[in-house]
A and B are shown apart, each in its own frame.
Chain A
Amino acid sequence: SYELTQPPSVSVSPGQTARITCSADALPKQYASWYQQKPGQAPVVVIYKDSQRPSGIPERFSGSSSGTTVTLTISGVQAEDEADYYCQSPDNNGTNYVFGTGTKVTV
C-alpha cells in the first residue's frame, strides 16, 4: 500500500527555519499538499501542488519537491506555527489519496 513517511517531531526556536519532509514509499510521486492542524481544530491547507500557497497563508510557508520527497519549510517560525503538519498525495493510479504520518512542530 502507498505510504507517506514524515518525522514524528521537529523542534525549532522562534525566528529559525523548520523543515518537514514527506517521503513516498515507492515510485514517482504525484503532487503533494500540506495541512496545518492545531488542537481541537480542523486542518487548514498551507501548500498545494507541491509549492503553491493559498491566499491568506503567510509567505513564510513554502513547499518544494525533489524526486520522491516533498518538503514544507517554515521560515522565521512564530509561536503560532506550533501545530501538527500532514502531507497528502495521491498514489500513482490516482485511486488512494494518502495522508502522511504527521509531524508535530514545537516552537
Chain B
Amino acid sequence: QGQLQESGPGLVKSSETLSLTCTVSNNPISTYYWSWVRQPPGKGLEWIGFIQYSGSTKYNPSLKSRVTISVDPSKNHFFLKLTSVTPADTAVYYCARGRGGSHSGYYFYHLDVWGKGTAVSVSS
C-alpha cells in the first residue's frame, strides 16, 4: 500500500501562487491518476484535478485557468500550483492516488490512498 505526504507553506498571501508537493512512498508513479482534492473549513470536498503518468491532465473547470498539476517521476513527487489565490482558496489540501479509466463510454474513478492533508491559509 502506498503512502502519500503533502508538504508546502501553510500561509500564502492573496494574489500569490500556492505551491504544494506530494511525496509518494512505496509506490512507483505509474499507472495511477495522481490527484488533488481540497476542503474549505467546515465545507465539503472539492476535486481539483489529476495527472496521469503519461502527462495527461484533467482539471476542475472552475479552477482550470489557475491550476497546474505536474509530476517528477524521478523523485516520486507530484505537484500542485494554484495561481492568483484569494481567501476563498483557504482549505485543507489533500493529495491522493486515483484509479480510473473508461470502457463502453462509462468513466470510473476513485481515490484509494490519501495523504493526511495540509492546511493552507490565504491572507488578504
Contact = CB atoms under 8 A, between A and B. Distances in A.
Interface size class of A (residues with CB under 8 A): 20 to 34
B55 interface: no
Given A31-B108, A33-B109, A33-B110, A95 B47 contact: no
Given A30-B106, A94-B102, A45 B112 contact: yes
Central interface residue in B37, B50, B108, B116, by most chain A CB within 10 Å = B108
Contact of A42 (B62, B100, B115): B115
B116 to A, nearest CB: 6
Interface in B85-124: 94, 99-100, 102, 106-112, 114-117
A49 B112 CA distance: 12
B81 interface: no
B110 A49 contact: yes
Contacts of B41: none
Given A42-B115, A95-B61, A96-B60, A102 B45 contact: yes
A94 B107 contact: yes
B58 interface: yes
B45 A49 contact: no
Contacts of A54: 112
A88 B47 contact: yes
Contacts of A33: 108-111
Nearest to A99: B45
Given A42-B117, A43-B45, A102-B45, A95 B110 contact: no
A86 B45 contact: yes
8 contacts: A42-B117, A45-B110, A48-B99, A90-B100, A97-B47, A100-B44, A101-B44, A102-B44
B16 to A, nearest CB: 26
